[in-house]
Chain A
Amino acid sequence: MSINVSIQAQGAQASVTLRGVLDSMSQATLKQQLEPVLANAGVTQIRLDFSGVQSMEAASAGMLMMLTHTAKSRNKTVGIVNANPAVLSLMHKANLGKVIQIQ
């Protein structure tokens, strides 16, 4: 199952809603979809809404970590909201919380 990405930019904040499974197959899609957001100098905050993410592979946490570094190099912050308990647990186990604000 792939990931479905919808982006809504409003001022300095871009809200990215994800639906599906975040695995090795869907990582490339997410990165590709986020590239315009990262290139947009007007956006300083990227909010990843995980409410529609059913599950996530551990490696995807690494991808999100590096994505955060890329965003930081472009003066943007990344935050994750509404992750389900299983995904949240995996994020913390992968130490993702050290580099991304998870709510």
Chain B
Amino acid sequence: MSGTDVVQDGGAKAPPNDRRGLPRAEGEKDLSRLDFLSARVLDECEVIRAAGGKLSNTLEGTMMEACSLSVSAAETSDFLQRSQQAGEALLAATREMTGLTDAARRQSAEAQTRAADGAGSIEALVGTFATIGDFLRGITRISQQTNLLSLNARIEATRAGQHGAGFAVIAQEVKVLAGEAGTLSANIETRLRDLVAATRGVQANFSAIVEAVHGATATLADLLARQRMLAEQIGDGCQQTVEAAGMMSGVNDTINRMQAAISETGEAYVQLTRSLDTLTVSAEGVVRNREGLLTAQIETQKALA
């Protein structure tokens, strides 16, 4: 058996050795398998690299969206906070207005009572004027009767002649006084009628005031009820704003976690890329060193034989 041939079991002839006198066929077969596997590894590395590139782009896009979302959420939170503050200020102002309206309503009710009392007093005054008018008419009647009496007295004095002369003078004076009293009484009665007419006008105005104040009181009461309802609605709105702000805070936390997850994925991607680079270099090294590997394999086989 030559040094370069290998006889296998059953007497079959072994494949020829290579230029170094080693079994070529087995080594080439292994090397082909190695070439195939290295090529597969390199191909898969390329596939993973391409997928990684897409992942990187997707991550960047997602991070950009996350940042936009984060800014929107932060601005929404700011807006909600400002809305809450404005709502609380509005609520305080509405409550203050409600207090003022309630005070105005009470004052209006008081004014209504006073005006009604005033109208009653005027009515009583008109009644007093009527009584005075009756008195005046009595005075007029007395002055008329006095005048008549003075006329009778003068007649009687004339009949008495010389002795009745002094009495006639007195009767004349009584007539003048009765006439003046009658004139004064008539004047007072005229003025009293004017006064009654003016007082009736005041009474009518008072009645209008009472009616107006009554309307104002009712309007204020309605306004008060509406303001209270408004305050309640504003209070509800404030509460909802606070709840919305709380929810936005949760959204912010979620966005923060999302950004952290994207960052971690990005770091994992970088690690993956590095590992991929190492794997590629290793696979390429295997291809480059195939002859050395073949030698090593043959040497190993020889050593084992």
Contacts and interface: CB of A to CB of B under 8 A. Distances in A.
A69 interface: yes
Given A65-B67, A66-B60, A58 B72 contact: yes
B67 A61 contact: yes
Interface string A4-29: 00000000000000000000000000
A93 B72 CA distance: 8
Given A65-B63, A93-B75, A95-B256, A58 B263 contact: no
Contacts of B67: 58-62, 65, 94-96
Given A66-B60, A93-B75, A58 B70 contact: yes
Contact of B71 (A73, A93, A98, A99): A93
Interface in B236-280: 255-256, 259, 263, 266-267, 270, 273-274
Contacts of B266: 66, 69
Interface in A62-79: 62-63, 65-66, 69-70, 72-73
A90 interface: yes
Interface size classification for chain B? 20 to 34
A93 B267 contact: no
Nearest to A64: B67
Interface string B24-67: 00000000000000000000000000000000100110111111
A98 B60 CA distance: 16
Contacts of A59: 64-65, 67-68
Nearest to B56: A66
Interface residues of A, number: 20
B258 to A, nearest CB: 10
A75 B116 CA distance: 93
B71 to A, nearest CB: 4
B74 interface: yes
B275 to A, nearest CB: 12
A72 B58 CA distance: 19
Given A93-B70, A93-B75, A62 B64 contact: yes
A45 B140 CA distance: 122
Contacts of B71: 58, 61, 90, 93-94
Interface in A29-77: 57-63, 65-66, 69-70, 72-73
A60 B256 CA distance: 17
A69 B64 contact: no
B218 to A, nearest CB: 53
5 contacts: A59-B65, A62-B64, A62-B66, A69-B270, A94-B74
Interface of B: 56, 59-60, 62-68, 70-72, 74-75, 255-256, 259, 263, 266-267, 270, 273-274
Interface of A: 57-63, 65-66, 69-70, 72-73, 90, 93-96, 98-99
Given A58-B71, A99-B263, 8 more contacts: A58-B70, A62-B63, A62-B68, A63-B64, A65-B259, A66-B60, A95-B67, A98-B259
* 3 interchain residue pairs of minimum CB distance: A62-B64, A93-B74, A62-B67
